[in-house]
Amino acid sequence: MSADSLPSLHRSGQSAQRDPTAWQLAPLPAAGDLATAEAFCRDVASRHYENFTVATRLVHPRLRQHLANVYAFARWSDDLVDEASSPAEAARDLAAWRQGLEACFAGRPDHPVYVALAETARQTGLTIEPFTDLLDAFEEDRAFDAAGVAVRYVDRDAVVAYCRRSADPVGRIVLALEGCRDAALVAMSDSICTGLQLVNFWQDICRDRLAGRVYLPRDDMHRHGVTEAMLDAPRAAPPLRELLREEVAWARERFDAGAPLANVAPPVLRPAIGMFLAGGRAVADAIERAGFDTLARRPTVGKWTKLRLAARAWWSLQATPHAAVGGPS
Question: In whole angstroms, what is the distance from residue 41 CA to residue 261 CA?
Answer: 28
DSSP string over 109-177: --SHHHHHHHHHHHHH---SHHHHHHHHHHHHHHHHHHHT-SB--SSHHHHHHHHHHHTHHHHHHHHHH
Question: In whole angstroms, what is the distance from residue 45 CA to residue 48 CA?
Answer: 6
Name the pTM for this structure.
0.87
List per-residue pLDDT tens for the chain, 329 residues long: 333 333 343 444 434 445 666 666 667 777 679 999 999 999 988 876 555 556 667 788 899 999 999 999 999 999 999 888 898 999 999 999 999 999 999 999 999 999 999 999 999 999 999 999 999 999 999 999 999 999 999 999 999 999 999 999 999 999 999 999 999 999 999 999 999 999 999 999 999 999 999 999 999 999 999 999 999 999 999 999 999 999 999 999 999 999 999 999 999 899 889 889 988 999 999 999 999 999 999 998 755 555 555 556 555 555 555 444 444 33
Domain boundaries, the chain: 22-318
**Where are any strands of DSSP class E within 125-241?**
none
CATH homologous superfamily for the domain 22-318: Farnesyl Diphosphate Synthase (1.10.600.10)
- Give the containing element (helix H, strand E) for 187: helix 183-203
